[in-house]
Amino acid sequence: MSFAVTAKAQGTDEPFFHLRKFYNYGNYGTARSQAMGGAFTALGADLSSTYINPAGLGFYNRSEFSGTLNLMSGKSTATYIDKASTTNRSPMDIGQLGVVFSREGLGSRLKKSNFGISYSTLSSFYHTYSYGASNTAHSISDSFAELANGSGLKPEEIAADYDKYGNAPDGYSMALMGGLLYYDEGAYRPNEFALPVNQAGKVTESGNLGQLNVSYGANFDDKTYIGAGLGIQMLRFDRSTTFDETFTSNPTYLRSQYYDNDLSITGAGVNLTVGVIQRLNDHLNLGASVTSPTFMRVTDSFIQYGGVDPLPNVPDAVMYKTSASTALDEFNYRVVSPLRASAGVSAFLPKKIGVVSVEAEYVGFSRMSLKSKDAAVWSDDQNGMIQEEYKDVVNVKAGIELRKGIGRLRGGFNFINDPLRYASDYKVKKNTMIGSAGIGIRKSNFFADLSYSRYMNTGAYNPYILNDNSHQSVTFKQARSTVGITVGSFF
């Protein structure tokens, strides 16, 4: 288990911090739902009901099949020391795919008994940014030297910990054998001291948090709608980082050196959602839903690589090898995600010209937990950080849909509070506003919707950390746009 080393080399990169990325949802689901800011707790007859509020399935009077494709465009500007770099990326993702089967109810009160199954992408993790600048104060080898000196191990002891395939057990061992460090007079030191050093890096993230939903909704007397659903979540997060240093000011031993790593986090878990919608009259609905925490089993896989390009005739005593890697480090643990609860109201405009929907969503981030049966101290440390760093939040969503014949015009916003208590310490925004708009058509047996949403995200990343906090952070701003395209048919 190498999370302490990972945190030292990479900054805010322990499992407790990843939870913010995984569970701070934006707009998701059908294009109609995305365009209206996700304010569907008190609305129904949309496939997003299978996971937002299954009571909404009770509004269906006929069966439906639909699918949504999300086309994303991201522009990231990263600043390191005194230089800014811009990177663009345009991935695609499945936003939603599902079917609802509608059937008549039994008895006089149960009007409809509807069943739905769907898949939805709740969070997408696609993000790429590059950075680079000249550093006059230190290099990544200084960070690895601090780690190696803190271990108290001599080179022969470090070498003895290598596996039979020649893989290092951790990052500083890899740095020593890969040529980034050398041992002299009882201490580990950078193999090259020449400054300034040109530093350049790239971070590439991908994956998503998806959910398979099996849901049921019932209509009683065309007034009361109740529903429940089982959610099966599937997590995949991949991140690849590269970091290169080039010595341009009369180096003694090395032309350049590099440090790369790959992180993969996968998991699966289940949750339950229950909901109700009360139709007060022809113009007003009230809705509420609760989604239990997701109980998920997670596996982290982490591997590190390092190496150097030496100058000619470098003494053997200075260099063990010119490249090395760690063994693949896998670690298993369990995650309990935040409980989510929503309450909303939908008002239908006169003459059936449209609807306005507003809701509040509670997310209990401070009640998350991590646990490994093989690492009790690690579990306590992670949960202590959750309690210290996270707070519960309330998000606000609103949307409007105007109708004219077969045409639909939509708009919305999703105001998301950041769950970090000290967001400024991590150089992230305290809140995010997602603005959205969309259009659609409805015919007797076919419909199509288009949505557009945009938001700005900020954050920071540490290529490496020094004990005296003199290291430099990469700060980034990500402008992200998403176009959702939904097509579907009734049957």
Over the stretch 251-303, which tens digit does the pLDDT of each residue have?
999 999 999 999 999 999 999 999 999 999 999 999 999 999 999 999 999 99
Q: With 80 as the cut, is the pLDDT of residue 74 above it?
A: yes
Q: Which domain covers residue 115, as residue numbers?
A: 11-136+195-490
Domain CATH code at residue 272: 2.40.160.60
C-alpha pair distances (Å), 135 with each of 7, 253, 261, 311: 21, 18, 21, 21
Q: With 80 as the cut, is the pLDDT of residue 314 above it?
A: no
- pLDDT by residue (tens digit) across 410-459? 999 999 999 998 866 666 667 889 999 999 999 999 999 999 999 988 88
User: Radius of gyration over alpha carbons of the chain, in Å?
Assistant: 26
pLDDT of residue 475: 92
Please name which of 467, 470, 469, 473 lies closest in space to residue 144, comparing C-alpha atoms. 467
Domain count, the chain: 1
Where would I find the beta strands (DSSP E) of 136-196? 181-184, 187-190
Please name which of 341, 342, 304 lies closest in space to residue 323, comparing C-alpha atoms. 304
Residue 114 forms part of a structural domain: yes
The interaxial angle of helices 140-151 and 3-10, nearest 10 deg, is 150
Residue 181 forms part of a structural domain: no
Residue 312 forms part of a structural domain: yes
Alpha helices by DSSP H, 13-134: 15-23, 31-35
Residue 162 forms part of a structural domain: no
pLDDT classification of 316: cutoffs 50, 70, 90? low
Q: In the chain, pLDDT over 70 holds for what percent of residues?
A: 95
- In this prediction the pTM is 0.92
Please name which of 279, 261, 378 lies closest in space to residue 328, comparing C-alpha atoms. 261
Residue 100 forms part of a structural domain: yes
Residue 165 forms part of a structural domain: no
pLDDT of residue 11: 38
